[in-house]
Amino acid sequence: MNDRLTTEDVHRYFPEFVEPGLLQVIANEGRIHRFAEGGVIMDYGNYVRMLPLILEGTIKISRQADDGSELFLYYLTRGESCAMTFSCCMAAKRSEIRAVAEEDTVILGLPQPKLDEWMMRYKSWKNFVMQAYDQRMNELVRTIDQVAFQQLDERLADYVSKRAAIREDRTILSTHQAIADDLHVSREAISRLLKTMENRGMVALGRNRITLLQPS
C-alpha cells in the first residue's frame, strides 16, 4: 500500500497550496497514515513529532482532566489541520489533548523539523498555518462560551446538531453515556433531556441512535 501522495494529489486535497515547491516538499515529506473509527491518533501526554493534515474522515479533539474525565472540544475534518498539534510540535511539548478518529480517517503526517522553515518560504503554507490557529482559537472561545454561559439543554442541542452535521446524516449512533462524557455531565441528565427533546418532537430515540427531526 502506497503511503505517499503525488503533487497532484496534494493540490487536489489542498487547493490553497499554490507554490509548486511547496506541493513538491509536501508530497516528498508527507506520509499517509490510516486510522479506523475509534482509533487513537494522539493521546494526552504523548510527544508530537508530526503534524497531521486530514485527507479523509473526521477527528474528534477532546481535553482530559487529571482524573481522566473528558470534555469534547471540536471536530477536525478533511482539508483541516490541528493547530494544537502544531503548537506542540514547535515547542516539542507533550500533547495537551486527545485526538480520536470519529470515523475511518486518512491523514498525511508531515515531519516536525520542516514545518517552521516552510512558514517563511511558502506564503500559502504560512497562511494555512495561521488560519488553522485562528479557527482553533475561535472554536476554543466558543467552547468556553458554551461551558460558561449556556445551560445543558442548549449545549446538548448544539452537540447533537453538530455531530449530525459532521456525519452528513440526521441520525447519530452513540450511547447516552458517550454523550455525557463528551459534555462532562452525568448520563442521567442526558437521558432525561433527550427524553424531553423527544416529547417535544425534536428527535427520535432508539438504542444507540438519535435522529434529528426538526431542521436545526
Partner DNA sequence: TTCCCTGTGTGACCCGGATCACCGATTGGC
Partner DNA sequence: GCCAATCGGTGATCCGGGTCACACAGGGAA
- Residues lying near its own copies in the complex (CB under 8 A) are found at 63, 65, 69, 71, 73, 83-84, 87, 90-91, 96-97, 119-121, 123, 126, 130, 133-134, 136-138, 140-141, 143-145, 147-149, 184
Question: Least distance from C-beta 96 to its own copies, angstroms?
Answer: 6
- Return the one option of its own copies, DNA, none that residue 31 interacts with (CB less than 5 to 8 A, by type): none
Cell 442521567, residue? 188
What SS3 class is residue 157?
A: helix
Question: Least distance from C-beta 210 to DNA, angstroms?
Answer: 8
Residue type, 24: Q
Residue 211 near residue 161, CB atoms below 8 Å: no
Q: Which is nearer to its own copies, 31 or 123 (CB)?
A: 123
Element (H, E) at 81: none
- Return the one option of DNA, its own copies, none that residue 175 interacts with (CB less than 5 to 8 A, by type): DNA
Q: Name the DSSP class of 79.
A: T
Residue type, 44: Y
Confirm or reject binding of residue 195 to DNA (CB under 7 A).
yes
Q: Which is nearer to DNA, 208 or 216 (CB)?
A: 208
Q: Which is nearer to its own copies, 31 or 121 (CB)?
A: 121
Q: Name the DSSP class of 214.
A: S
What are the E-state strand segments in 65-122?
70-77, 97-101, 105-111
